[in-house]
């Protein structure tokens, strides 16, 4: 499974997960996760609903 798919799968199971928690669970640097999240949002695969602090991730089924 590639990293983007793994991120989407993890966030689909736990949409309230923070970037730091996601980085810890995948054993990757926080900055690398942030770059992949930005790319996934730009491609339309991921949407943050609500505020960055208390929002939920919405995985888009494209």
Report pTM.
0.89
- For the chain, give the percent of residues with pLDDT over 70: 97
Q: What angle do CA 39, 45, 50 make, to 5 degrees?
A: 90
For residue 17, the enclosing domain spans 3-59
The answer to whether residue 1 scores a pLDDT higher than 70 is no
Residue 27 is part of a domain; what is its CATH number? 1.10.10.10
Return the closest-CA partner of residue 39 out of 1, 2, 56.
2
- Would you state the pLDDT for residue 38? 96
**Mean pLDDT for the stretch of residues 43-53:** 91
| Number of domain units in the chain | 1
d(CA 61, CA 27): 26
């Amino acid at each position: 499974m590639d990293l983007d798919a793994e991120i989407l799968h993890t966030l689909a199971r736990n949409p309230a997960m923070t970037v730091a928690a996601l980085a810890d669970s995948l054993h990757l640097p926080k900055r690398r996760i942030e770059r992949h999240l930005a790319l996934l949002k730009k491609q339309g695969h991921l949407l943050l609903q609500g505020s960055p602090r208390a929002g939920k991730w919405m995985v888009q089924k494209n």
